Structure 1
Amino acid sequence: MNIELFKHVYFRIPILLRLLITILLVIFLFGTIIHFIEPKNFPTIFDGIWWAIVTGATVGYGDYVPLTAIGRIIGMVLILTGGGLLTFFITQFAATTVQHENDLSQGKVAYKGKEHIILVGWNERTRILMDKILKHNAKAEIVLIDQTVSQMSYQHYPIHFIHGDPTDDYFLQKANITMASKVVISADNRKGEKQADNQSILTTVAVRGNNRDIPIIVEIMTSNQIDNAIRAGANTILRPNDFMSALLYQEVFKSNAKPFETVIHLLKDQQFHHFKITEEYINQPYLEVFITLKKQHYLLLGIIRNDKWIFNPDYNLKLIQDDVLVTSISWDN
């Protein structure tokens, strides 16, 4: 029973650790035996272990040498067993390292970190997003879940890749969804807009089912699926079609301006910040609040009142309770 228990535990240990334990046991055994056989040449067990390591590794410093016939026989057995074990351990270690790197690039390795950002779907948008995140914070941890890419080298893209279906709990758990800080779900541009939205909503449901509190940002292509995405658990809905249509409208009717470049550079250098009006700003004119916030490095762009967005209002407009201030601030602040 004890032997069966030993086999049950021993053979479940990873092979590298199992080899290392075996080598240590062999070295300790031979070092102890040689100490008792030739106590004059090997005064302590530690001296015997040192000799066993040097002999098993075929280094042969010669500072400790067995002189008796039995001692030399033990030395020969050690060379044949210990040397083989060490060589096999080094070979296995190298093979395991290469295999682990291959598994990483093929998206087979589970992620063990926390406070990471999960990107769902690999396309040009997520690639640019990845670059911007790492430029803003070089230490940011990013995990990508995608089933269209079969391999992704860490040397080219410094992110942890999980190859699989993001609607499957198994792959979400491999990405350590419960410890992530945020999820960004990008629409699959290989599919039609309706199919892409259905996939994004299904992914949102799966993510929310595994983590009730994580912020989920979802890209939705068609306006009639926005409510479904919110019901599924999305916190933020991105509508690229509406955004691009507004830019195209600006480009068609622009007057000595570059709307697209203006928005891109604004988003590059500034981050938007919304917050409800505080007591000190209630009944204050818009201009006074603008100046006060500017001293705090916030640029007041407008307000949201009764779900209506008002940009660049009259400077005498009095702010009221429940107004939401729309501001921008530098990424450096």
Structure 2
Amino acid sequence: MIIKQFKLIYFRTPIIVKLLITILILMCFFGILIHFVEPSQFPTIFEGIWWAFVTAATVGFGDFAPVTTSGRLIGILLILTGGGLIGFYITSIASGTIKREQDIEYGRLVYKGTGHLVFVGWNERTRQLIKVVLENNPNENIVLIDRTLRHVSFNEYPIHFIHGDATEDTILAKANIRHADRALITAELIKNERQADTYTILATVAIRGNNENIPIIAEVLSKTQIENALRAGATTIVRSNDFMSALFYHELTHSIAVTPFEDILHILSKQQFLHLPLAPELEKKQFAAISHHLLKGDHLLLGIIRDKQYRIHPSADFVLEHGDVLVTLARL
């Protein structure tokens, strides 16, 4: 039973640790041996071990050296065995470091942190979002899951990349989805709308199955798939098609040149949209009065949510009621 447990521990031990233990045992053996063979040259066992390490590492300080034939034969044997082991140990460390860097770049390494953001899908929107998030919070940890991207340079994008399918539990486990703070699923634009939405919904189901409480923001292209995404467990639905259509219409109906919309989006990236429950003391008050009240706290009131319906910029005399949710814009 003891032998079986020892074998189990031995085979589970990383090769670097095995090599280090072997080198330590071998150096101690040669150090003790040379001490007994030439006690005058090596008065203590520690000095013998010191000589063994210096000789095997081919450093050769020359402070200790065997003078007898027996001692020199031991030195030759040490060089042939210990020197090769130490060289292999150093090479293993170097190759292990390179392999780890490659595993990070090619998305093979498990993420072990907590409280991170999980992004599913790599596209221009994701790239810009990563940039905005890190500009506003450089300490934010981001894990990207994508099945089409081959590798991500950490120097260019300081994120943790996981290569794989976000609908698979093993891939989500690599991203440590159970301890993530939020998840964002972007649509795969290289596919048609139905296929892209199907993947988004399946990824939502998989994420919700692995983490019951995580907020999931899902991008849906087709209006008919919104209910399915909500049933799958998405907490927020983003319909980029509707937004882009409204933006195009706005540009088509305005002949006078205005500030480029991307500049406006950059400004908005420095702000934060918030949903605030209506405080009891603000019930039965008009929209204008509540808006003035919130401005004192650096909150710009955009509208409300009532019965799951958005009402943006209602009239000034619009009266708010119990259960309304305020939609505000605040500085980050």
TM norm. shorter chain > 0.5: yes
Aligned 8 A contact 1:250 1:259 in 2:
no
Larger deviation: 85-94 or 286-295?
A: 286-295
Aligned to 2:211: 211
Aligned 8 A contact 2:201 2:229 in 1:
yes
Aligned 1:1-333 pairs, distance under 5 A? 6-254=6-254, 256=256, 257=258, 260-261=261-262, 263-331=264-332
Alpha-carbon distance in 2 for matches of 1:106, 1:148: 11
Alpha-carbon distance in 2 for matches of 1:139, 1:40: 60
Aligned 8 A contact 1:251 1:258 in 2:
no
Alpha-carbon distance in 1 for matches of 2:207, 2:294: 38
Aligned residue-pair number: 331
Alpha-carbon distance in 1 for matches of 2:2, 2:126: 54
Larger deviation: 280-289 or 268-277?
A: 280-289
Where do 5+ consecutive residues of structure 1 fail to align? none
Alpha-carbon distance in 2 for matches of 1:4, 1:279: 68
Per-residue CA deviations over 1:38-78 (Å, capped at 9, x if unaligned) read 33433332222211111111111122223333322222211
Aligned 8 A contact 1:108 1:163 in 2:
yes
Alpha-carbon distance in 2 for matches of 1:255, 1:317: 33
- Identity among equivalent positions (%) equals 51
Per-residue CA deviations over 1:221-257 (Å, capped at 9, x if unaligned) read 0011000001111111110011111212222333755
Q: Secondary structure at the match of 1:152?
A: coil
Aligned 8 A contact 1:247 1:259 in 2:
no
Change (3 A) 1:179 1:106: same
Alpha-carbon distance in 1 for matches of 2:122, 2:263: 27
Where do 5+ consecutive residues of structure 2 fail to align? none
One-letter amino acid of the structure 1 residue matched with residue 223 of structure 2:
S
Change (3 A) 1:38 1:262: closer
Alpha-carbon distance in 1 for matches of 2:31, 2:270: 66
TM-score, scaled relative to structure 2:
0.91
Q: Secondary structure at the match of 2:12?
A: coil
Alpha-carbon distance in 2 for matches of 1:157, 1:197: 27
Larger deviation: 196-205 or 148-157?
A: 148-157
Change (3 A) 1:4 1:312: closer
Larger deviation: 155-164 or 30-39?
A: 30-39
One-letter amino acid of the structure 2 residue matched with residue 194 of structure 1:
R
Aligned 8 A contact 2:204 2:229 in 1:
yes
